[in-house]
């Protein structure tokens, strides 16, 4: 009888309709029925990515898409810039190292956003830079990168802009074409409200041109092969059929609500979470100037064990939020506003956080977090 509310930044909750589709008998992928779905989801993804570029579907989690974005456009000894402000920014650096690519790493303090001026400095000094890797929403810290400003800074250069939008696509504003983004990587288990198992990669003509010269080995994640298959409404290898069938439903839900309305909805939800945290005497982890709407990182008060907090919320009350990762383990909690969540879900999450913090001895007025969020959610 216990509630099972997932407020984690991936996987996010599945809408009931998505669960239904996932439970249906499987169909074969080389049939007109599945080809029709592939065509529809590709168009739907282009809408969510806000792009006319190719959007390719890979059967893997998001990291597979990130690897594809490194191995398909670059070659050993190429030079790139990585804007690294958390665990997922570090992943770009690790991927580049694995392929023998020289990464100029801009280390951004966790919880802060990178500065365009730092990027321009490296670009000014290094004329051979081929790509810039950034993270739209750094899930580990709850920071959103100003991709629009970075895209402007790169416009007219030969550098491709590669964005890890695994956390964030569909949840925070991203205008691939308008913002000059060449490669966007996303995953199924965040804003798209699906189980993990699919990655998506959009590729601009500028990035395709670079792919022609890439010598890194790749087979399963070979994007040119994926594009060739996609032109025949096919995939090079057996895809995760079930999740693609469900993707079609999730894209329909997104299209029906409208992507801009969704962005606004998540922004409002996050505003409520942040107001609640402050009202409960908690500090927010991310710099307010760059706090993400997709995931809110809240500092655990001193004297309270953050790991125990999330464990009690989950095991006693059935409300799952995320703790901190790596250096933030036990020090923050993260509440996700992405996907199939509404204000009542967030209020439930806040109520449970209040309840357990109260049990654990944090001094604050019970109900103050709920009231603060409720005010935000009922503003005209």
Of 31-50, which residues contact a second copy (CB under 8 A)?
A: 31
The answer to the question of residue 98 lying near a second copy (CB under 8 A) is yes
CA distances from 162 to 7, 82, 159, 311 (A): 28, 10, 9, 36
Tokens standing for residue 317: 């009350």
Stretch (H or E) spanning 156: none
CA distances from 31 to 34, 148, 229, 235, 297 (A): 5, 40, 14, 12, 45
Identify the residue among 4, 231, 363, 378 touching a second copy (CB under 8 A): 4
Q: For a second copy, which is the closer residue by CB, 91 or 362?
A: 91
Rounded to an integer, what distance in angstroms lies between the CA atom of residue 118 and that of residue 152? 14
The answer to the question of residue 155 lying near a second copy (CB under 8 A) is no
CA distances from 275 to 248, 278, 321, 334, 346 (A): 35, 5, 17, 14, 12
Identify the residue among 40, 42, 47, 61 touching a second copy (CB under 8 A): 61
Residues 8-27, mask of contacts with a second copy (x by CB under 8 A): x-xx-xx----xx-xxxxxx
Q: For a second copy, which is the closer residue by CB, 189 or 202?
A: 189
Task: Tell me which residue has tokens 């898409």.
Answer: 65
Q: For a second copy, which is the closer residue by CB, 71 or 176?
A: 71
In angstroms, give the least distance from the CB of 69 to a second copy: 11
In angstroms, give the least distance from the CB of 94 to a second copy: 7
Rounded to an integer, what distance in angstroms lies between the CA atom of residue 137 and that of residue 291? 9
Residues 64-93, mask of contacts with a second copy (x by CB under 8 A): x-xx---x----------------------
Q: For a second copy, which is the closer residue by CB, 11 or 142?
A: 11
The set of residues, in sequence order, having a beta carbon less than 8 Å from that of 100 and lying 6+ positions away, is: 76, 77
Identify the residue among 130, 265, 274, 314 touching a second copy (CB under 8 A): 314
Rounded to an integer, what distance in angstroms lies between the CA atom of residue 126 and that of residue 197? 38
Q: Which stretch binds a second copy (CB under 8 A): 104-112, 211-219, 274-282, 296-304?
A: 211-219
Residues 235-274, mask of contacts with a second copy (x by CB under 8 A): -xxxxxxxx-------------------------------
Identify the residue among 37, 48, 57, 95 touching a second copy (CB under 8 A): 95
Q: Is the dihedral of CA 178, 44, 131, 62 positive or negative?
A: positive
Of 354-373, which residues contact a second copy (CB under 8 A)?
A: none
The answer to the question of residue 220 lying near a second copy (CB under 8 A) is yes
Question: Would you say 330 and 306 are in contact if contact means Cβ atoms under 8 Å apart?
Answer: yes
Q: Is the dihedral of CA 86, 92, 95, 101 positive or negative?
A: negative
CA angle 60, 66, 68 (to 5 degrees): 80
DSSP class of 291: B
Applying CB under 8 A, the residues found at the interface with a second copy are 4, 6, 8, 10-11, 13-14, 19-20, 22-29, 31, 59-64, 66-67, 71, 94-95, 98-100, 187, 189, 195-197, 216-221, 236-243, 314, 320
């Amino acid at each position: 009888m216990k509630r099972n509310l997932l407020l984690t930044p991936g996987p996010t909750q599945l809408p009931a309709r998505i669960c239904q589709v996932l439970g249906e008998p499987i169909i074969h992928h080389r049939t007109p029925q599945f080809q029709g779905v592939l065509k529809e989801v590709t168009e739907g993804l282009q809408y969510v990515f806000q792009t006319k570029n190719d959007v390719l579907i890979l059967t893997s989690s998001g990291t597979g898409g990130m690897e594809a974005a490194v191995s398909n456009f670059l070659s050993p000894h190429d030079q790139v810039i990585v804007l690294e402000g958390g665990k997922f920014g570090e992943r770009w650096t690790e991927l580049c190292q694995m392929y023998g690519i020289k990464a100029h790493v801009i280390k951004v303090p966790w919880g802060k956003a990178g500065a365009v001026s730092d990027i321009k400095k490296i670009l000014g000094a290094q004329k051979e830079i081929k790509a810039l890797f950034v993270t739209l929403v750094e899930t580990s810290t709850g920071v959103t990168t100003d991709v629009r400003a970075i895209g402007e800074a790169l416009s007219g250069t030969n550098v491709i802009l590669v964005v890890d939008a695994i956390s964030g696509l569909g949840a925070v504003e991203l205008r691939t074409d308008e913002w000059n983004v060449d490669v966007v990587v996303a995953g199924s288990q965040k804003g798209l409200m699906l189980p993990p198992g699919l990655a998506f990669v959009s590729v601009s003509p500028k990035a395709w041109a670079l792919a022609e010269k890439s010598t890194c080995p790749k087979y399963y994640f070979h994007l040119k092969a994926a594009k060739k298959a996609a032109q025949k409404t096919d995939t090079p290898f057996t895809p995760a059929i079930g999740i693609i069938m469900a993707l079609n439903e999730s894209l329909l839900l997104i299209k029906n609500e409208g992507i801009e309305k969704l962005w606004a909805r998540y922004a409002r939800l996050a505003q409520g979470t942040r107001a609640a945290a402050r009202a409960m005497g908690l500090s927010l982890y991310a710099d307010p100037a760059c706090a993400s709407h997709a995931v809110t990182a809240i500092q655990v008060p001193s004297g309270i064990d953050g790991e125990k907090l999330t464990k009690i919320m989950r095991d006693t009350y059935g409300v799952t939020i995320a703790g901190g990762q790596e250096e933030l383990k036990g020090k923050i909690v993260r509440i996700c506003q992405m996907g199939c969540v509404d204000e009542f879900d967030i209020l439930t999450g806040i109520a449970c956080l209040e309840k357990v913090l109260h049990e654990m001895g944090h001094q604050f007025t019970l109900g103050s977090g709920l009231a603060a969020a409720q005010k935000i959610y009922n503003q005209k």
